[in-house]
Amino acid sequence: MKHQTLSSAEAFTPDAISNRRFSLYSSFVKPLSDAALSLLLLPVLMVCTVLLMMLNPFFNKGPLFFVQTRMGRDCKAFKAIKFRTMRPTGRVVRGADDPLERDRITPLGHVLRRSRIDELPQILNVLRGEMSLIGPRPDFFHHARRYVRTVPGYRRRHAVRPGISGLAQTDLGYTATTDATRLKVRLDLHYVQNQSLALDAYIFWRTLVTVFRRKGC
């Protein structure tokens, strides 16, 4: 299947990140740990899938999974997979703060979002090499194309694989406006430039705190 990419005028330019230092951690340790932890989570994903197959007909009618084209590493498109949390529709809205989107979230979808279980299927994207467990969160490809042109530094955040959880997501939360996206980019670029085991551990801890406090959208 041919990948969707940016136009030639928007194409990713490696020179923009030529000063990035690829450490032993980001080049070798992180990818191996991503794969190992994702394999360990596969049984959890299987159990959740079976349970949701039984619950969906009553509390979340429609397809079990939701697949959306998002912008990944080097600004290339990929298909991100999640457990569906909203009523099926052909309309794509911006984000969790959109009142129309909130109205579409199903009762079971609220539980999945607050517990972040809806993101669990993305371990399959990790195993395919499209995502990482920790990294900048990938945006819907159509919106990302616009941000590449309008938000300074937005292109450079795609120098690494996107993550299931990230620094901007834990410290800032979900963004729904261009101004908020600029703040998100600052945090994402900090992560890109300072990847380390300590930083990933901090983000992982903040993610757990968010889940246990039920602060998911």
Which two structure tokens, joined as six digits, stand for 76?
């290339």
The distance from CA 195 to its chain's CA centroid, rounded to whole angstroms, is: 17
Burial of 66 (0-12, 13-18, 19+ CB in 10 A): middle
What is the reported pLDDT for 144? 95
Return the number of other C-beta atoms located less than 10 Å from residue 91's C-beta. Answer: 7
Beta strands in the chain (DSSP E): 65-71, 77-83, 132-134, 163-165
Mean of all residue pLDDT scores within the chain: 85
pTM of the predicted structure, to 2 decimals: 0.83
What is the reported pLDDT for 160? 95
Return the number of other C-beta atoms located less than 10 Å from residue 123's C-beta. Answer: 23
What is the reported pLDDT for 12? 45
Residue 45's alpha-carbon distances to 3, 83, 120, in angstroms, are: 27, 10, 7
What is the reported pLDDT for 27? 87
Contact 101, 85 (CB under 8 A): no
Mean per-residue pLDDT for 144-168? 95
Would you mind telling me the total number of residues written for the chain in this entry?
A: 217
pLDDT score of 213 more than 80: no
Amino acid present at 123: I
Give the least confident one: 3-12, 27-36, 176-185: 3-12
Helix (H, G, I), strand (E, B) or coil at 195: coil
